[in-house]
């Protein structure tokens, strides 16, 4: 068939689609999703938006998913991933029995759970006895249920006495945490998605939300289409599908956004667009590590970022005029909402970049009012709820408690009924240090839960070397084979979403329950059962009754509902009271009644049943703000735990470029990110045929001017090489990345197309989050188009 024939035939085919009204359904079974007989409400398994949905079951088998129209997160919408992930339940590739090998060059052998748990306990206990408590580590995920993260970190800290508790949110959200804590004194956004429908101006920076958070983007799209006067500014070195919504696209040289943000602040002050009353009432100016300065000193520090000077720094399409326009739109709108994600967070100066966005909101008072918020988007469904709130990072305990604070640490020890001093005061190894520790053989046993660092760490080959060591015991809990299970000694099969019960906390401080609806395949088990059984064996191996005490409250509980509920109750009732993420009202009983969960703070069940707190710190809307007001006549009370002075900080932060800028040898900027059809390392989405077909392998996007200069045509094979490694991709020649920059999709797990073999592992000194988004590379055409095959790791 030639192209003309193809066009002719497809044209006829498409014309037919306008004609037919022969419905396969009567209205009686519309929206019933295939043959579903029953529907079970839960939350989407994939990104951080927190879409509520229903799983359709026919004869007990999952057959469909559909959005819940009453949900305030997604208003009924789902993306293609949220529509199709039911296909992973009962997928033929699922891990269904424990697998073990003593050495990593041996084949895996199927073993029983008894044997597997004994091995896990023996190896971790053996490492502790021989090399000390900090020779063991847990590396979890923003996809684990809160109950799972909470119980893992409890056993590691209270039982094994190590703070080597980390998770992949370090790779995506740590800079946002650092930004919120240092600017507002409290982690997580002040406002909600509900601000989208009130905003008059959107400032999108470092986010391709059309693909990474498509359902939230749809709310922005609706807002803009129904209200064309609403302004949308999109700041990104790459023109992406998100840019289609923009009135103003700011395309700058990668890494120069710190200068751009300072320049917008300069314009706001120069043109007196700031809000002096808001600043006087609530803000202080800070420099360095926290020295207080005045407005004049802050203003003077911005003189290095006049629009003229900044346009020269930023390059791209940045002119003094567009900087002024962006600043004016931002400051003058009735409500401006900033949204950002990995383009800001995955940076060597990620915390500072977050601070500079917050600065714009603080200078203009674009905060705590409808449609105004500085809103960090989250990449994973439970990075906020489980890891940030539940104590899943090396420096924080449950309830946003820094581990270094004696009083807060003792609160946790008392709640757990373990001796004071049991939890070490020193933070554990952060993610990059943890895998460096694996490389050096200092970490002797590591438990990797529900994530694939062998693919998702930057400079991945370096860290895969460590994971291959035979003197490092690697335990993986997962549902599918991944690049990381390939390096494991012990693989434990786990239950998937809707095969177990638990809570996810999404971007907008919202906790939502997903109940068990179907049985896990084979011998797969919920993680909470696995941890409990492991801890009991550990206690025997080490002869330490305190380890057993960490799981004693949960002994004998059935794992599908009673066990996770008991864990949730312990966490929320004992450890969130008096904290900013007060979840005492968000009991399972309440969560079961709500179409879309509860936003914290929610101190009582009666309050939680109203939906919780839509906007933090606002009296009349936030019960803690009301309680903390104590005679204040101000409408906002900033009670965040990190700022004892209850002030918001406007930070002086200078522009610092990327850790690795292009040079003569590696002259091109390399960036990477998601595409809409896939998620993370594609271990799930790659196993859904429709999604895999839609985007079967990663591409490299190249600006047409660069392509012409290098003789690269569409679909030619292009090698990307950095100081760390090289990979090869088919080319997409597109006005996406700016000239001098390439962009690669990061989901592909094919050995030849794993972009993290090339990316940079420098990290932010404060947040310890790596600079995935910018590194230097060189590219060259290696051949014409080549037939490629999609690839997924098999056992």
Q: Which C-beta is closer to other proteins: that of 31 or that of 300?
A: 31
Pick the binder of other proteins from 73, 104, 159, 244 (CB under 8 A): 244
Task: Kindly state the smallest distance separating residue 412's Cβ from other proteins, in Å.
Answer: 42
Sheet order of strands, 291-293 included: 291-293, 283-287, 648-651
Rule CB under 8 A: say whether 28 interacts with other proteins.
no
Q: Which C-beta is closer to other proteins: that of 76 or that of 704?
A: 76
Residue 89's contacts (CB-CB under 8 Å, 6 or more residues apart) are: 62, 496, 497, 498, 499, 518
Burial 714-732 (b: 16+ CB within 10 A, else e): eebbbbbbbebbebbbbbb
Closest to 96 measured CA to CA, from 493, 380, 480, 461: 493
Task: Kindly state the smallest distance separating residue 196's Cβ from other proteins, in Å.
Answer: 14
DSSP secondary structure, 565-598, as one string: HHHHHIIIIIHSTTSTT--TT--HHHHHH-SS-E
Task: Kindly state the smallest distance separating residue 250's Cβ from other proteins, in Å.
Answer: 20
Backbone dihedral angles phi then psi of residue 65, each to the nearest 5 degrees: -135, 145
Rule CB under 8 A: say whether 50 interacts with other proteins.
no
Query: By the 8 A CB rule, do 307 and 263 touch?
Result: yes
Q: Which C-beta is closer to other proteins: that of 33 or that of 611?
A: 33
Closest to 211 measured CA to CA, from 342, 43, 385: 342
Q: Which C-beta is closer to other proteins: that of 173 or that of 341?
A: 341
The count of residues interacting with other proteins (CB under 8 A) is 59
- Tokens 């939890």: give the residue: 423
Query: By the 8 A CB rule, do 724 and 459 touch?
Result: yes
Give the span between the Cα atoms of 13 and 677, in whole angstroms.
25
Task: Kindly state the smallest distance separating residue 793's Cβ from other proteins, in Å.
Answer: 19
Pick the binder of other proteins from 42, 67, 386, 515 (CB under 8 A): 67
Burial of 502 (0-12, 13-18, 19+ CB in 10 A): buried
Maximum CA extent, the chain:
80
Give the span between the Cα atoms of 249 and 484, in whole angstroms.
39
Give the span between the Cα atoms of 527 and 487, in whole angstroms.
20
Residue 84's contacts (CB-CB under 8 Å, 6 or more residues apart) are: 65, 688, 690, 691
Q: Which C-beta is closer to other proteins: that of 22 or that of 664?
A: 22
Rule CB under 8 A: say whether 277 interacts with other proteins.
no
Give the span between the Cα atoms of 232 and 244, in whole angstroms.
10
Closest to 262 measured CA to CA, from 176, 363, 348: 363
Task: Kindly state the smallest distance separating residue 229's Cβ from other proteins, in Å.
Answer: 18
Q: Which C-beta is closer to other proteins: that of 32 or that of 317?
A: 32
Q: Which C-beta is closer to other proteins: that of 35 or that of 406?
A: 35
Task: Kindly state the smallest distance separating residue 26's Cβ from other proteins, in Å.
Answer: 9
Task: Kindly state the smallest distance separating residue 10's Cβ from other proteins, in Å.
Answer: 4
Query: Strand 490-493 to strand 99-100: parallel, antiparallel, or no bridges (unpaired)?
Result: antiparallel
Q: Which tokens in the block code for residue 786? A: 């080549």
Q: Which C-beta is closer to other proteins: that of 3 or that of 630?
A: 3
Stretch that binds other proteins, among 166-174, 283-291, 526-534, 693-701 (CB under 8 A): 693-701
Q: Which C-beta is closer to other proteins: that of 240 or that of 310?
A: 240
Stretch that binds other proteins, among 21-29, 231-239, 271-279, 371-379 (CB under 8 A): 21-29
Pick the binder of other proteins from 696, 704, 725, 740 (CB under 8 A): 696
Give the span between the Cα atoms of 48 and 50, in whole angstroms.
5
Task: Kindly state the smallest distance separating residue 611's Cβ from other proteins, in Å.
Answer: 19
Pick the binder of other proteins from 102, 555, 690, 708 (CB under 8 A): 690
Rule CB under 8 A: say whether 34 interacts with other proteins.
yes
Pick the binder of other proteins from 65, 127, 337, 443 (CB under 8 A): 65
Rule CB under 8 A: say whether 300 interacts with other proteins.
no
Task: Kindly state the smallest distance separating residue 220's Cβ from other proteins, in Å.
Answer: 9
Rule CB under 8 A: say whether 784 interacts with other proteins.
no
Rule CB under 8 A: say whether 465 interacts with other proteins.
no
Instruction: Sketch the per residue contact string, 376 through 415, with other proteins: x for CB under 8 A, - otherwise.
Output: ----------------------------------------
Rule CB under 8 A: say whether 43 interacts with other proteins.
no
Rounded to the nearest 10 degrees, the angle between the axes of helix 146-154 and helix 562-569 is: 70
Give the span between the Cα atoms of 726 and 778, in whole angstroms.
9
Query: Which DSSP state fits 158?
Result: I
Instruction: Sketch the per residue contact string, 69 through 88, with other proteins: x for CB under 8 A, - otherwise.
Output: x------xxxxx--x-----
Rule CB under 8 A: say whether 297 interacts with other proteins.
no
Give how far Cα 184 sits from Cα of 178, 628, 645, Å.
Answer: 10, 16, 11
Q: Which tokens in the block code for residue 166? A: 């980390």
Task: Kindly state the smallest distance separating residue 670's Cβ from other proteins, in Å.
Answer: 24
Pick the binder of other proteins from 129, 693, 705, 709 (CB under 8 A): 693
Task: Kindly state the smallest distance separating residue 28's Cβ from other proteins, in Å.
Answer: 11
Q: Which C-beta is closer to other proteins: that of 220 or that of 314?
A: 220
Give the span between the Cα atoms of 485 and 99, in whole angstroms.
10
Query: By the 8 A CB rule, do 116 and 360 touch?
Result: no
Pick the binder of other proteins from 86, 138, 202, 217 (CB under 8 A): 217
Stretch that binds other proteins, among 217-225, 354-362, 515-523, 540-548 (CB under 8 A): 217-225
Cα torsion at 701, 706, 712, 715 (round to 10°)? Answer: 10
Indicate if the alpha-carbon torsion angle 68, 72, 78, 83 is positive or negative. Answer: negative
Task: Kindly state the smallest distance separating residue 791's Cβ from other proteins, in Å.
Answer: 12
Q: Which tokens in the block code for residue 223? A: 């807002």
Q: Which tokens in the block code for residue 666? A: 């590696």
Q: Name the 3-class secondary structure at 671.
A: strand
Closest to 254 measured CA to CA, from 780, 784, 777: 777
Q: Which C-beta is closer to other proteins: that of 79 or that of 403?
A: 79
Task: Kindly state the smallest distance separating residue 787's Cβ from other proteins, in Å.
Answer: 5
Pick the binder of other proteins from 141, 301, 411, 695 (CB under 8 A): 695
Stretch that binds other proteins, among 106-114, 218-226, 513-521, 542-550 (CB under 8 A): 218-226
Rule CB under 8 A: say whether 16 interacts with other proteins.
yes
Task: Kindly state the smallest distance separating residue 242's Cβ from other proteins, in Å.
Answer: 10
Q: Which C-beta is closer to other proteins: that of 13 or that of 229?
A: 13
Q: Which C-beta is closer to other proteins: that of 87 or that of 306?
A: 87
Give the span between the Cα atoms of 433 and 441, in whole angstroms.
12
Stretch that binds other proteins, among 491-499, 565-573, 618-626, 685-693 (CB under 8 A): 685-693
Of residues 183-212, which lie at the interface with other proteins (CB under 8 A)? 210-211
Rule CB under 8 A: say whether 6 interacts with other proteins.
yes
Rule CB under 8 A: say whether 368 interacts with other proteins.
no
Give how far Cα 488 sits from Cα of 215, 317, 395, 467, 469, Å.
Answer: 36, 48, 27, 8, 10
Burial of 656 (0-12, 13-18, 19+ CB in 10 A): middle
Rule CB under 8 A: say whether 644 interacts with other proteins.
no
Q: Which tokens in the block code for residue 439? A: 């490389």
Rule CB under 8 A: say whether 420 interacts with other proteins.
no
Query: Strand 373-376 to strand 38-43: parallel, antiparallel, or no bridges (unpaired)?
Result: unpaired
Rule CB under 8 A: say whether 21 interacts with other proteins.
yes
**Residue numbers of the site for other proteins (CB under 8 A)?**
1, 3, 5-7, 9-11, 13-14, 16-18, 20-25, 27, 30-34, 64-67, 69, 76-80, 83, 210-211, 214, 217-218, 221-222, 225, 241, 244-245, 676-677, 689-690, 693-697, 787-788, 790
């Amino acid at each position: 068939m030639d192209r003309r024939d193809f066009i002719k035939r497809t044209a006829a085919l498409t014309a037919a689609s306008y004609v037919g009204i022969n419905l396969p359904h009567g209205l009686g079974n519309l929206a019933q999703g295939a043959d579903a007989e029953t529907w079970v409400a839960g939350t989407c398994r994939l990104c951080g938006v927190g879409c509520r949905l229903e799983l359709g079951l026919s004869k007990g088998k999952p057959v469909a998913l559909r959005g819940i129209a009453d949900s305030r997160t997604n208003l009924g919408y789902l993306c293609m991933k949220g529509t199709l992930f039911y296909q992973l339940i009962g997928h033929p590739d699922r891990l269904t029995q424990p697998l073990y090998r003593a050495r990593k060059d041996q084949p895996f052998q199927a073993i029983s759970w008894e044997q597997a748990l004994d091995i896990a306990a023996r190896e971790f206990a053996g490492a502790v006895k021989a090399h000390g408590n900090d020779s063991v580590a847990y590396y979890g995920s923003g996809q684990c249920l809160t109950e799972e993260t909470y119980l893992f970190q409890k056993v590691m800290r209270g039982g094994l006495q190590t703070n080597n508790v980390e998770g992949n949110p370090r790779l995506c959200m740590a800079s946002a945490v650092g930004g919120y804590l240092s600017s507002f004194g409290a982690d997580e956004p002040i406002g909600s998605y509900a601000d989208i429908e009130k905003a008059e101006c959107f400032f999108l920076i470092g986010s391709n939300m059309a693909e990474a958070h498509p359902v939230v983007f749809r709310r922005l799209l609706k807002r803009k289409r129904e209200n064309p006067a609403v302004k949308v500014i999109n700041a990104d070195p790459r023109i992406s599908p998100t840019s289609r919504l923009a009135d103003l696209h700011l395309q700058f040289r990668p890494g120069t956004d710190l200068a751009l943000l300072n320049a917008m602040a300069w314009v706001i002050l120069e043109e007196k667009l700031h809000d002096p009353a808001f600043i006087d009432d609530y803000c202080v100016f800070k420099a360095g590590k926290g020295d207080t300065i005045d407005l004049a000193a802050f203003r003077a520090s911005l003189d290095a970022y006049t629009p003229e000077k900044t346009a020269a720094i930023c390059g791209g399409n940045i002119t003094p005029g567009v900087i002024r326009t962006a600043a004016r739109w931002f400051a003058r709108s009735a409500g401006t909402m900033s949204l950002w994600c990995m383009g800001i967070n995955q940076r060597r100066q990620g915390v500072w970049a977050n601070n500079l966005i917050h600065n714009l909101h603080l200078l203009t008072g674009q905060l705590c009012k409808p449609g105004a918020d500085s809103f960090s988007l989250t990449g994973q469904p439970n990075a906020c709820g489980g890891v940030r709130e539940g104590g899943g990072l090396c420096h924080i305990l449950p309830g946003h408690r820094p581990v270094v604070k004696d009083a807060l640490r003792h609160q946790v020890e008392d709640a757990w009924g373990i001796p004071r001093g049991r939890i070490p005061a020193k933070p554990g190894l952060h993610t990059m240090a943890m895998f460096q520790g694996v490389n050096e053989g200092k970490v002797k046993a590591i438990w990797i839960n529900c994530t694939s660092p062998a693919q998702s760490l930057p400079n991945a080959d370096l860290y895969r070397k460590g994971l291959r060591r035979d003197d490092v015991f690697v335990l993986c809990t997962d549902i599918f084979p991944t690049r990381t299970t390939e390096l494991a000694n012990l693989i434990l099969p786990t239950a998937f979403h809707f095969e177990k019960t638990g809570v996810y906390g999404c971007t907008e401080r919202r906790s939502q329950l997903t109940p068990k609806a179907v049985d896990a395949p084979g011998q797969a088990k919920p993680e909470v059962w696995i941890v409990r059984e492991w801890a009991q064996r550990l206690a025997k191996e080490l002869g330490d009754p305190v380890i057993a005490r960490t799981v004693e409250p949960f002994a004998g509980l059935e794992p599908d509902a009673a066990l996770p509920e008991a864990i949730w109750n312990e966490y929320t009732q004992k450890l969130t009271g008096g904290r900013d993420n007060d979840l005492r009202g968000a009991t399972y009983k309440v969560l079961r009644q709500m179409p879309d969960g509860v936003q914290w703070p929610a101190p009582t069940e009666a309050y939680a049943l109203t939906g919780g707190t839509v906007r933090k710190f606002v009296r009349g809307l936030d019960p803690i703000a009301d309680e903390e007001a104590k005679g204040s006549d101000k409408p906002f009370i900033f009670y965040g735990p990190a700022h004892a002075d209850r002030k918001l900080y406007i930070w002086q932060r200078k522009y610092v470029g990327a850790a690795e800028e292009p040079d003569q040898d590696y002259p091109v900027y390399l960036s990477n990110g998601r595409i809409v059809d896939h998620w993370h390392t594609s271990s799930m989405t790659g196993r859904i045929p429709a999604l895999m077909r839609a985007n079967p392998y990663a591409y490299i996007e190249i600006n047409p001017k660069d392509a012409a200069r290098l003789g690269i045509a569409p679909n030619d094979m292009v090698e990307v090489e950095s100081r760390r490694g090289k990979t090869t991709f088919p080319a997409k020649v597109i006005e996406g990345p700016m000239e001098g920059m390439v962009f690669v999709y990061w989901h592909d797990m094919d050995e030849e197309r794993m972009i993290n073999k090339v990316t940079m592992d420098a990290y932010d000194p404060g947040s310890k989050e790596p600079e995935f988004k910018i590194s230097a590379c060189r590219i060259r055409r290696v051949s014409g188009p080549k037939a490629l095959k999609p690839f997924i790791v098999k056992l």
